Amino acid sequence: METTDKYNCFKFFHQKSRKIFLLIFFMLLTILLIFTVVLPAIKAELLFPAGEQAQLFNTSHSDDPMDHRMHGLASENAWLRARLTLAGSDSLVLLVNLPDSIVSLQMNGVIVFETAITGYKISRIFNKYSPLYLTEWCKHPFTVKASVSSIPKMPVIYKKAPKDTIEAAKQQNLTEVPTGQEDTWFSLYTDRNLKLAIKQNETPSTLISEKRQRYFRKTRKLERRELVKSMANFEIPVHFAYITIYVSRSDARVIYRALPEHALVVLRL
Amino acid sequence: MKNERIILFWIRFKEFLSAGFLKAAGYIRLHPRLEKAIYTASAGMISIFLLHISITLAPAMQEGVVLLLPLKKANTLSEIKDPDKYIKELERGNMLLEGRLLRRIPTGSYLVINTTENHFKLYHNRKLKREGFCSTGSYIHLEADDSQAWIFKTPKGIFRIRGKTEYPVWKKPDWAFIEEGLPVPPPEHHSRFDYGVLGDYALSLGDGYLIHGTLYKRQLGMPVTHGCVRLGDEDLEVVYYYMQEGSKVFIY
């Protein structure tokens, strides 16, 4: 009996201090969960540009077809206005039109690329807002603050200058032309709590692909960093409302490679 | 080196934990101080693990809690004094906006080049006239011994045609010699001038970038150039015909 006591796993903890330890541990865990999960979700709302107040009204959702018509027209109006605001810009703008299932790229008011959205998933937070509220939210373009991708922005191939013509000929044979078959997923984190992810609709070339793992790792790392940053500043972390759209692999690659670092995104919901 | 340290730490840590489990199962006996250290470390690691999990899974868990949010509402048409007038105003507004957007599209000719897919589209009077494959920058970063470096990429953005040339001659820059392992000749040396390699026509985009023809037609649709845009002979002829000086070229 004495031996068992002597080598008891928790002998170094006095019975009372063990309880206190466990209590503090679970309290800390609960506080952490409240701070990182419950509060951000309860406080979650679609953020508007600084200084702008969202119009909130007190009536309920309506099934009146005229209301649907009005919402459709208002949404189109906001969409066209946002596009026109950016039509003077020489920079490339990403346009995501969910009702028409089209994603396109605009330059100086000209649509230079357009493709069909084959499917999409949206955050549950959008179901909590009426269409008019969502239209107000989308009225202004979003600015991309950070992005994570499974492919590089520029497929740079590093090459040392050959010393002579023989080495140059060898290099010529070795230079690989990119096949363009890389699996493509990317996420754009914008200034107003929108996370727009664009993913290929094809199944990945390999199920456990290194690139895919790395993409998800990078996404988690970025989100974790934001969360820890907010916690360090004693601020309630922002809940990102996500929209995931699926396009073909080649189109996803075109969109990602074309977008500038701090691209503008116009959204129609 | 850093990785080695991490691996070593991980091995030691696993040994440490294994010792703890063996001790707990009663297979081995440990010095009380070592035992205390093992359990303190285990408690610490479990706390860090739970912290890590809760932070990592927080965004996904938030989605579940969002369901509890109250509905944010907006107004309905019944609250608007004159709904018909309001709808008509919206319709008219949208038509005007569409018209203004349409006016942004050039009425003459313009060229759109997709550098990722190596594809081009030529528009005239807002209608697609021709499309096909082209070749754009290879993204090769060439590094010379004397710390000089070049990156062969096609610039992106909006450009205008600066000039048009028939039977262009390529004046080879330094990198063309360095890339081939040849000595760099003086600036006006005859070996710098290459005839017939740019096809029958060239359209200048400025800064030495051209839209021109190629001898390597099999490489159309691939990223193989030093930054210029290469087109097939027939495509080039059509582009040369439609694109005038000042016409816009959109490259993305």
Q: What angle do CA B176, B222, B148 make, to 5 degrees?
A: 30
Per the structure, the complete domain to which residue A242 belongs is given by: 44-268
pLDDT of residue A51: 59
Residue A171, domain member (yes or no): yes
- Contact at CB, B181 and A177, closer than 8 angstroms: no
Q: Is the pLDDT of residue B28 over 90?
A: no
pLDDT tens for B177-210 read 998 888 889 988 998 998 989 999 999 999 999 9
In single-letter form, the type of residue at position A22 comes to: L
Lowest mean pLDDT among A2-11, B41-50, B111-120, B124-133: A2-11
> Cβ of A266 under 8 Å from any chain B Cβ?
no
pLDDT of residue A179: 62
How far is CA A69 from each of CA A147, B11, B246, rounded to the nearest angstrom? 36, 65, 43
Tally of domains in chain A: 1
Which stretch, A6-20, A66-80, B72-86, has highest mean pLDDT?
A66-80
Mean pLDDT along residues A208-221: 82
Q: Is the pLDDT of residue B123 over 80?
A: yes
Lowest mean pLDDT among A154-168, B20-34, B69-83, B219-233: B69-83
Mean pLDDT along residues B42-61: 77
pLDDT of residue A59: 40
Q: Is the pLDDT of residue B230 over 90?
A: yes
Residue A59, domain member (yes or no): yes
pLDDT tens for A100-146 read 999 999 999 999 999 999 999 998 888 877 777 788 888 889 999 99
In chain B, what are the domains?
Answer: 2-66 (no CATH), 109-251 (2.40.440.10)
- Contact at CB, B143 and A160, closer than 8 angstroms: yes
pLDDT of residue A180: 62
pLDDT of residue A103: 96
pLDDT of residue A89: 86
Q: Residue B229: CB partners within 8 Å, gap ≥ 6?
A: B113, B120, B134, B135, B136, B154, B205, B209, B210, B211, B212, B251
Which stretch, A136-140, B88-92, B227-231, has highest mean pLDDT?
B227-231
- Contact at CB, B158 and A109, closer than 8 angstroms: no
Residue A34, domain member (yes or no): no
Interface test with B, best of A3, A4, A5, A12 (most B CBs within 10 A): A12
A187: closest CA among A224, A153, A227, A219?
A219
Residue A151, domain member (yes or no): yes
Q: Is the pLDDT of residue A165 over 90?
A: no
Residue A26, domain member (yes or no): no
- Contact at CB, A69 and B87, closer than 8 angstroms: yes
Q: Rounded to whole angstroms, how far apart are CA atoms B150 and B155?
A: 13
Residue A2, domain member (yes or no): no
Query: Which chain B residue's Cα is nearest to A9?
Result: B24
- For B196, the token pair is 């017939």
> Cβ of B93 under 8 Å from any chain A Cβ?
yes
Give ipTM to 2 decimals. Answer: 0.81
> Cβ of B69 under 8 Å from any chain A Cβ?
yes
Which of B65, B80, B115 is closest, CB to CB, to A38? Answer: B65
**Quick check: pTM over 0.95?**
no
Give percent of chain A above pLDDT 70. 82
Chain A residues inside the 8 Å CB shell of B223:
155, 177-178
Chain B residues inside the 8 Å CB shell of A44:
62, 66, 69
User: Is the C-alpha dihedral spanning B194, B195, B200, B204 positive or negative?
Assistant: positive
- Contact at CB, B98 and A80, closer than 8 angstroms: yes
Q: Is A106 left (phi over 0), alpha (psi -120 to 50) or beta?
A: beta
Mean pLDDT rounded to a whole number for chain A? 82
Query: Which chain A residue's Cα is nearest to B89?
Result: A73
Residues 139-178 of A with CB under 8 A from B: 154-168, 175, 177-178
pLDDT tens for B146-165 read 788 999 999 999 999 999 99
Residue A176, domain member (yes or no): yes
Q: CA A37: distance to chain centroid?
A: 18
Residue A11, domain member (yes or no): no
pLDDT of residue B223: 93
